[in-house]
Chain A
């Protein structure tokens, strides 16, 4: 097989960051080439250079043997490189067909030919195994998996020779991932190359042919076989050797419940939820996206108003965010960037966002004291870089998450709600976050954790609650569950009938 894409010594700098600092990559026809690296390793920048969003400052890119420097995303598309971005770049208010042909609508004399577009869209969707998606439907109405299919259809509509997929499985459920892999196999069988990016090593083993590892903008391993042992891959990414490492710990939860949730309901989201969290206890909620778990967390935090039921922290009723924070509750929400961070503000101001009034005297802020406290927390969290004056925007996903968690470490928090704390966080930072959560629990902080990664819930929590379609259907100590059982519960709820009887 011949190489259709070859990158050597590619460099790209942004103000404050040398994002790519000598990247090598060789992709062959018809292969699935996986790209591995921690957050901030340069994967996203690399993709954007290939997609024509950014231009490399130095280095050589050969596409089908020719020097390649696309002036725009359109140019890259025309050359045969299609990209499916992590944040799906679909226009919600256009139809499926309009999205597929956005920017290259079949037209005659300047008038778009809607029927032609619809017919071709239908053909492509059928090829993708999704004939049931109507080309005329508004994209807004599709589930996340459907949108991904549309994104993929857009790539195929360009007759792409190389498709770059940036964490395509992040928003997909189990069976949807299987379908994705089937499509990828069909694509590669037709000689199309795929560059596949994922944090999940298991996926890489299943679908990948070869692996290139990036670290700090440099290629640390090029073209390794996908069977390369985990230890070695993780080592190349981080210099450390583990994938999921849960620090050992002894649960020593206090007796009296810290948080008591009683019969909490919100129409259309969840119903009849009762749970408790004791000081020093880590309680995990396993459930799929859409099971109502994020909504539940936000309601407990007071950010949504419950239709029914009560939340009490240490015997005090919680009815609003301000009150929840004042009484020692903290939350790291699911969407870090849109729900938790002021991206252009420095790290220390983000860390003290919930506590700056506490540092202040007579309404005057105390930046010096805030900075010092933030520095201590940054050290505890091993924040990289340890510069608390740097805008949060310039940090990697994992380090941004540390800032959010750090916010609540600063604020005398007694109960921490974590919603998908490791989404988009690289392996190294993950382990560090797990350690932080354990340390918190050891200090007597109660933790309520939501995650769609079952191993994470099982490995981290003392007690596991399974949530499905807005209801808690199972509760057990983490030690008594295994991944398959939880997955069964999450997907089908098969144990529910058995236990409820």
Chain B
């Protein structure tokens, strides 16, 4: 049992963006829906091929759609550059296995290492080891406690997700002129830090409108737990104005519960930005009206930035000659109006 719990902790973030794929979806395929971008237009010198950069890459074995998307995105992005060679290493199933794999990788002296650690604290020493060996480390999503253990950290914004969801709900309700709205919240696994950050952001945004959450039933990032949580919540709130569900994957169950309860008097905001959720928003045929992103596209960006670091270049729009040390992605709000733009970013 503890193994399961532990896994859940480690992959909590991953689960947050778990692939909501129709059964037809084969998202392990690195083809059509990977998030790739190389800015080749204009006089951008960064796009031109430079010295060859060898990038070592390590992410936990994909046992979730979001992690699978991370690895796929990294591979696809590396493939788009002629001057990048990606060396992925299996990170195994736990932190110890990942440490061992990374030691081997460090010995091979790649130019840059990009890694999504099983756990930031447990891989901190390995980050330091690589940095001391002169290899810049790019940390994806799960921060190292020691600033000396990484050259660049790129991560999503859990607090920002909550903020965006709260902002959207507040604006919509205000526009409708609802004075004392009943708002529900269905978070993922409640004991995770990322869940608490999302909830904190959500409450903060609602507070600016003078609103607060009337009922909160946590699920477990799975569809069946989402269904159970939503059923309880709907039973507790006979009338509802808005609902934020943290995760589009458990959202499948949440939407099923709403249908089973025959309820439609409210609107719902999702989280993570799955393809199915984006499609549903575009179709506008359910209570789901928006979703706030936590995108695995960060892996693609990490490879691009690793290339620049390896070649000693900075971001061309910035004045600084080097890539910054920390990048936090903004959580974006996808609605019917911009869904088409985000369709290819859904995973």
Question: Do the two chains touch directly in the complex (Cβ atoms below 8 Å apart)?
Answer: no
B residues with CB within 8 A of A: none
A residues with CB within 8 A of B: none
